[in-house]
Amino acid sequence: QVQLQESGPGLVKPSETLSLICTVSGYSITNGHFWGWIRQPPGKGLECIGTVYHSGNTHYSPSLKSRLTISVDTSKNQFSLKLRSVTAADTALYYCARFEGYSSSWNGDGYFDSWGQGSLVTVSS
């Protein structure tokens, strides 16, 4: 059974880069799924940040695209998130999740079927 675990600093200063890693266990990241990041500001709803395929193909949310890098390390069965120039508005619970789509080419049609427990990241000086 697939398990996902987020890791990274819980506190990031404004204007710096937020970095998180998601370690996948019980399932090979190269088995043909997209892998994604979703965030949830305190007391608010879900926002999809972006996804990555094991080949490195990515899809980024248009609202975050200019600050975002999502990459994959198949040798470690991990994928990562880097969000640059953060502000207080980026304070959120960050979840990694497996995306079950219908093609190896991203078309957005699918769903997140397994989630990590979440990692709280606070942006503050």
Residues that bind another protein (CB under 8 A): 36, 38, 45-48, 61-63, 95, 100, 107-118
By beta-carbon proximity to another protein, the closer residue of 45 and 124 is: 45
- Tell me how far, at minimum, the Cβ of 125 lies from another protein, in Å: 28
Rounded-to-integer distance, Cα 84 and Cα 54, Å: 23
Q: Shortest Cβ distance from residue 119 to another protein (Å)?
A: 11
Half-sphere exposure of 123 (CA within 13 A, CB side): 20
CA atoms within 13 A on the CB side of 82: 8
Which residue's CB is nearer to another protein, number 42 or number 125?
42
